[in-house]
Structure 1
Amino acid sequence: MTVKSAADIELFQFAHSHFNEKARWALDWKGVPHKRTSLLPGPHVPVIRKLTGQTATPVLRIGDEIITGSGEIVLRLDEIFPDRPLLPADPQLAATAIELQRTIDNGLGPAIRHCAFVAFRDEPGFLCDLMAGHVSLPKRLAYRAALPVLMWKINQVLNLDDRDLFEKQCTEITRALDMIASRINAHGYLAGEQFTLADMAAAAIATPLARPPEAQTRWPENPPAQAADWNRRWRDHAACDWVREMFVRHRGTSAATD
C-alpha cells in the first residue's frame, strides 16, 4: 500500500472516547502523520454509516481502505507500518496479546461506557462539556439543547435504568482491573518484555478511570460530585497506577497534522 501524505490517512473519532484514544495512540506510536476528524455522538451517525454501514467509532481511512474498530485499526497499522511493532515476535506471546486486547475491549470497555453514562446522565452540562468541549460555542449550545433526546436514545440502547445491570457492570470493571493488575509481569508489561498492543489496549481503555494527564482525551475541570465520586471508586486501584505509568513511559506526542 502506498500512502502519499497525511491527507491519505484520516481518523474519524470521538475526541473523548477511550476506544478512540487507543486508535490515536497506535497512530502516534507508529509516528504516522494523519488527519483527525472529530465527530459529535449522535450527529456522527450519517457520516460513519455512509463510510462503513455501521455507526461505531473509531474509523480509520487509509487511502481507499476503511478500517473499523480500535482493535482492527491497531492490528492493521502494525501490518502496514512494521516499525515499532505492537505484536510480539513470539507467536504465543502475540496470540496472548491479541486475546488480552479482545478481552479488554469486550469487557472493560463497554462496562466503563455503561457506568459512566449512568453516573453522568443527570449532569447535562458536564456531559456536553465532555463530548462537545472541542467545538465552537454555537455548536456546543445546539448540542446541549439536543442532549435530552440523545440521552433518551442512549438509555434505550444501554438500559441505563436497570440498577442490577449497573452493579453488574461495576463488578466487571473491578474484575477487569484485578485481572490487569495480576498479569503485570516482572518487566512491567502484560505480554512479554516490551510494550505491546495488550498494554496499549488496557491503558487506553482504562483512561476514564485512571485519567492520566498524558492522554489525548479531554476531561472537563471541576466535575460535579456524582462524576467525581464515580471516578474515585477505582482511581487508586493498582491497575490504574500502572495505566498512569504506561502513559508516562509510552504515550508520546501526537502525530496528527491538524
Structure 2
Amino acid sequence: MPHPERTLYQFTISHYCEKTRWNLDAKGLSYGVENLIPGPHRLLTKRLTKGGRGTVPLLVDRGNVVTDSTDIALHLERAYPSAPALIPASGAERERVLELEAFFDEMAGKHVRRWVYAQLFGSGVDITPIMFGAFPPPMRLLGRALVPLIKQAIRRQYQLTPPKVEESRVKLLEGLERLEREIQGDPSRYLVGASLSLADITAASLYAPLLAPEGSPYHRPGQPTAPAIEEMRAAINARPAGQWLARRYQEDRQRPARGFTG
C-alpha cells in the first residue's frame, strides 16, 4: 500500500528486500509496500530511476529514489539521524560493520540465491506459491503463467550450472564459518559491539531463505521444499550459525534496534 512518506517497491521473495524491510523496521520508520511482478517490474523501476537500475529493493523516501539495499541503508543513516543508528558514526566499529555488511552481501546474497534456486528448480518444487503467494488471486493466476519465463530468466541471470552451483555451496558455507568466528561460537553475540547493526541484519536476512527461521517470510510450515535444502537446513541449524540466525529473528526482527551511541 502507498505511504505518504516512504514506499518500498519489492519482491516478497527477495532476501535483499527482506534486508531493507528489516533495516526500516529496526530504525522505527513506517513505510508502505508495493509488491512487483518479476520481469514487468522493470517498467516501473526504470521509470522511477529515470532509466537507471531496474532492480529492487527500490525505496521512494520523501521524493528521494534510492536503489540497492546497501545504498538504502546508508541513505537512511544520513536522512534519519535521530532514529536508532545501525552503523556507528565513525571509528573502527564503523569500518567493521561496513566490511562485514559487504562480505555477507557477497557471500550470502549471491550464493544463497543461486544455490537455493538450483535446488528448487532441480527438484521440481512449484515456486508459484513462493513467488506470488502475497498477491491477490488474479495476480497469482498471472504469476503462474509467467513462472516458466521467470525460471528461464533466473537460470540465465544467476548461471545455474553445476560448477557455479557447487561454487555457491562452498561459498555460502565459508560465509557461515566466518560468522561463527566473528561471534566466537556464541549465538547470543552480535557481530559488532553489544547491539544490532547493519552487519547482523545483512547476514541474518540474506541467509534466511536457506534456513527459514521462524519469524522470517521464508518460514512456511508444510510447504514442500527441495530435499537438499531440508538436509542443508538441518545441518546448519544444529550449528552456532543457525542458532544465531534463529535468535536474531526471535529477539531482534520485530522490534526497533537500540542503536549505536557516541
Residues 125-149 of structure 1: per-residue CA shift (max 9 Å, x gap): 6311101001122221221122112
Task: Go from structure 1 to structure 2 and tell me whether the alpha carbon gap of 1:6 and 1:253 turns closer, same or farther (over 3 Å shift).
Answer: farther
Residue equivalent to 2:153: 153
Residue equivalent to 2:168: 169
- Within 5 A, what are the aligned runs for 1:177-256? 177-184=176-183, 188-217=189-218, 219=220, 221-226=222-227, 227-229=229-231, 231-232=233-234, 234-252=236-254
Task: Go from structure 1 to structure 2 and tell me whether the alpha carbon gap of 1:216 and 1:164 turns closer, same or farther (over 3 Å shift).
Answer: closer
Among candidates 4, 27, 31, match of residue 30 of structure 1: 27
What stretches of structure 2 of length at least 5 have no aligned partner?
257-262
Residue equivalent to 2:9: 12
Q: CA deviation at 1:89?
A: 4.4
What stretches of structure 1 of length at least 5 have no aligned partner?
none
Moved more, 83-92 or 224-233: 224-233
RMSD, matched Cα? 2.2
Residue equivalent to 1:69: 68
Q: Distance in 2 between matches of 1:98 and 1:86?
A: 10
Q: Distance in 2 between matches of 1:55 and 1:231?
A: 32
Q: Distance in 2 between matches of 1:111 and 1:233?
A: 18
Q: Distance in 2 between matches of 1:206 and 1:69?
A: 18
Task: Go from structure 1 to structure 2 and tell me whether the alpha carbon gap of 1:94 and 1:78 turns closer, same or farther (over 3 Å shift).
Answer: same
Q: Distance in 1 between matches of 2:252 and 2:205?
A: 11
Q: Distance in 2 between matches of 1:230 and 1:130?
A: 19
Q: CA deviation at 1:174?
A: 0.3
Q: CA deviation at 1:118?
A: 0.6
Calculate the TM-score normalised by the size of structure 1: 0.88
Any conservation in 2 of the 1:16–1:218 contact (CA below 8 Å)?
no
Residue equivalent to 2:106: 106
Task: Go from structure 1 to structure 2 and tell me whether the alpha carbon gap of 1:41 and 1:235 turns closer, same or farther (over 3 Å shift).
Answer: farther
Partner secondary structure for residue 66 of structure 1 = strand
User: Any runs of at least 4 consecutive aligned residues in structure 1 with deviations exceeding 4 A, and if so which?
Assistant: 122-125
Q: Distance in 2 between matches of 1:125 and 1:164?
A: 22
Q: Distance in 1 between matches of 2:212 and 2:134?
A: 18
Any conservation in 1 of the 2:120–2:226 contact (CA below 8 Å)?
no
Any conservation in 1 of the 2:86–2:196 contact (CA below 8 Å)?
yes
Moved more, 47-56 or 184-193: 184-193
Any conservation in 2 of the 1:209–1:240 contact (CA below 8 Å)?
no
Give the length in aligned residue pairs: 249
1:44 paired with 2:41, answer yes
Identity %: 27
Residue equivalent to 2:259: none
Q: CA deviation at 1:221?
A: 3.3
